[in-house]
Each structure stands twice: as structure tokens, then as C-alpha cells.
Amino acid sequence: MAVNTMQNAITKICKMTSVIPLIELNNHQIAKPLAQTLLAGGLSTIEVTLRTPAAFKVLNEMAGVAESIGGVGTLIDPEDVQRAANAGAQFAVSPGVTEDLITACEKARLPLLPGASTPTEIMLLLQKGFLIQKYFPAEASGGYSRLQAISQVFPQISFFPTGGITEQNAANYLKLSNTICVGGSWVTPKKLVEAQDWNAIKKLANDAKNLS
């Protein structure tokens, strides 16, 4: 899969939503109800971070929820790419990028949304044809005002800010004409997920869905 084909797939996925919830799950058995809850709240796209040993099983469970679009996040090691694709990941998000990661995603036909946070990193990704880039870590790198300044010199790039995004600051990022959507874990707080408080998560999802 060529980079421009990846970009078309990523554009389609990002344009479906304003918010992509990030999840970090230790227990794959609650992956399905969590995906169903997010769907009921209006969010169909989910990023499953590879930060727990259960992540591949979580992806697999989510692939069984028909309307959910599960992607793999925190994808760093090229050796995890095929495994994530086999587990049902429909897209991949990485905090930065390497040549090997791009090659592995091309080979596995897994659309990649790579991360950058400096103008040079953005330009290197641009040179490779990536017109949609994760902006990470958004808040720690200077937040909305820094992204706004960066956006002015890269009008051709759409950004997916993540890292420190909350229900309070998300709307600000979404006001930028070249923020395609935002990502964050505020929709799926660990405590509520562990308590399987689906009603509370559904409300957070619905509030996130209504942000624009």
C-alpha cells in the first residue's frame, strides 16, 4: 500500500469523527462492551494503544464489533505491524516515525498516521507524502497556540493532536481549520473502565461526539 493510498484511508477514518478515544486495556474481556458503549455514545473509531500485553487481543475483540473501527496506537516496533493487522487493526498511529515502520505498514497494507511535533519532523513526513500527521504530545509541546503557529506555515497538512487533550481544551484544537480530529484518553478514564461504568463512559463519549 503506497503512502497516498494510506492517506486516503486515514482521511476517510478521521473525517468520520471529531474525537478518537484512546484506550489502554489490561483486560481483553471488556473490550467488546467498551467498544459497544463508545458506539452507543456516538464514537465508532477507537485507538487501542500497544501499552498493555492484552492490546492485540483487545484489537481482536473489537474487530468483532461490526460498526467499530479499531486502530492500533503507540505503534513503534515494525515487528508489531503485521501482528496488529492480523488482529484486525484497520489503521495505525505512531508517536513518531521510522523508515522501517513505514515499510512494514506498506507491506501489511495498514494505513499509518505518523506523529511529529517539530517543523523539521513535519517536513520529513511531508517529504514522504504524509499530509495527515499526529501532533504529539500536543499540550506538552505548547498546546493550541503552538499548533496554530505551526499550522500557518503548513496549510497543506491536517493534524491529529493528541497528548493532554481534554473535554475542556478539545474544542479549541478543533477550531483550527487544519485539525482533522483530536485523540485522547479522557473519554475512557481508567477508573471508569475498570469499574465497567458503561453509563458514565457513554455520556463522556456522547459529550465528545458533540464537540466540534
With binding defined as CB under 6 A, does residue 22 bind ligand 3PG?
A: yes
Q: How far is the CB of 163 from ligand 3PG (least distance, A)?
A: 4
Decide: helix, strand or coil at residue 109.
Answer: coil
Select from 163, 192, 202, 204 the one that contacts ligand 3PG (CB under 6 A). Answer: 163
Active site residue 134: yes
* Amino acid identity at 34: L
Catalytic residue among 47, 61, 139, 202: 47
CB-wise, 33 or 164, nearer to ligand 3PG?
Answer: 164
Residue list 42-71, contact with ligand 3PG (CB under 6 A) = 49
The type of residue at 194 is E
Give the residue with the Cβ less far from ligand 3PG, 6 or 113: 113
User: What is the grid cell recorded at 43?
Assistant: 464514537
Query: What is the SS3 assignment for 47?
Result: strand
Torsion sign, CA atoms 112, 113, 115, 121: positive
Q: Which is nearer to ligand 3PG, 71 or 184 (CB)?
A: 184
Does 121 qualify as catalytic in the annotation?
Answer: no
User: How near is the Cβ of 162 to ligand 3PG at its closest, in Å?
Assistant: 3
Residue 105 near residue 128 (C-beta atoms within 8 A): no
Interaction between residue 160 and ligand 3PG (CB under 6 A): no
Contacts 24+ apart (CB under 8 A), 119-122: 119/150, 119/153, 119/154, 121/96, 122/150, 122/154, 122/157
- Cα–Cα distance list, 17 to 35, 86, 129 (Å): 15, 25, 23
**Binder to ligand 3PG among 18, 158, 185, 188 (CB under 6 A)?**
185
Alpha carbon distances (Å) from 27 to 23, 34, 69, 194: 11, 11, 19, 9
Query: Would you count residue 18 as binding ligand 3PG (CB under 6 A)?
Result: no
Nearest CB to ligand 3PG, comparing residues 84 and 107: 84
Is the CB of 67 or the CB of 180 nearer to ligand 3PG? 180
Residue numbers at the binding site for ligand 3PG (CB under 6 A): 22, 49, 73-74, 136, 162-165, 183-185
Catalytic positions = 47, 134
